[in-house]
Amino acid sequence: MAFASVRLRRIIELKERLDEIANEKDEFQFVENPRNEVIDESRRRLETSSFVDVLEVFGRDMDKNKIIEMLLSESNQQEVVSGVPIVSIVAMPGIGKTTLAQLIFNDDIVKNHFNKRMWIHVSKSFDKVKVAMHIIREIGGNIVHQGDHDITWQDVHHQLTSFVDGKHFLLVLDDIWNENPEEWDPLRRSLKYGSQGSRIIVTTRNEKVAVMMGTTYFHRLGVLPDEACWFVETLCLCWKAKR
């Protein structure tokens, strides 16, 4: 068990170093592929989805159950005043923030509790217009746009407000980096018109982001316990032996 824990820490350290290298390249907004082609940073980062194979995830039942408990907790008057409560899953890269959010999003209790569930992968490039458009599509609407000009926040703001109005929704905003409240606040104000009991889950590696967004409940995700690491390691060894 100790060996599995040490190995996991080494993997995390390696991933952190790779992230540091990637962040240094972010300053230039491009990276070179083996053919020396320039690739836009927004395309380089892989987009996540709500899909997860629950049979491949171990050791997160307590985290999942704790957050589901928060999602299903009774609403109160403060919620109406301040907007939709936000649960933020905060952890260093590689710990499993997205996987935990996927487990929660696909849980049968959660599915039955919320009549609308939306999954939006945000990543570094936080664009409130694009995020709003994704939410509208996920909730089952179409963007009504007139004219030849680019779609603006004014174009989507009223539509988003209208589409979420009265909806009992769960919205997952996965992998948020933006620390600028001026980008988040307009979106938050539109989302507050969801019905009482609606919830937002945020995953981020930066606690400042969670604070800026007005998080109601912080869930600081830690590394897996030694028992879970040992179990995963054993399964991997068994799988390799069968190949």
The tens digit of pLDDT for each residue in 148-184 reads: 567 888 889 989 999 999 899 999 999 999 999 999 9
Is a pLDDT exceeding 70 seen at residue 130? Answer: yes
Mean pLDDT, rounded, for 221-238:
53
Taking CA atoms, 178 is separated from 54, 105, 128, 204, 210, in Å, by: 30, 23, 11, 9, 10
Give the predicted TM-score (pTM) of the model. Answer: 0.72
- Identity of residue 120: I
- Pick from 126, 90, 48, 86: nearest CA to 220: 90
For 191-210, give one letter per residue: b (16+ CB within 10 A) or e.
Answer: bbbbbebbbbbbbbbeeebb
Residue 177, pLDDT score: 94
Q: For residue 41, what are the contacts with CB-CB under 8 A and spacing of at least 6?
A: 25, 26, 29, 30, 31, 124, 125
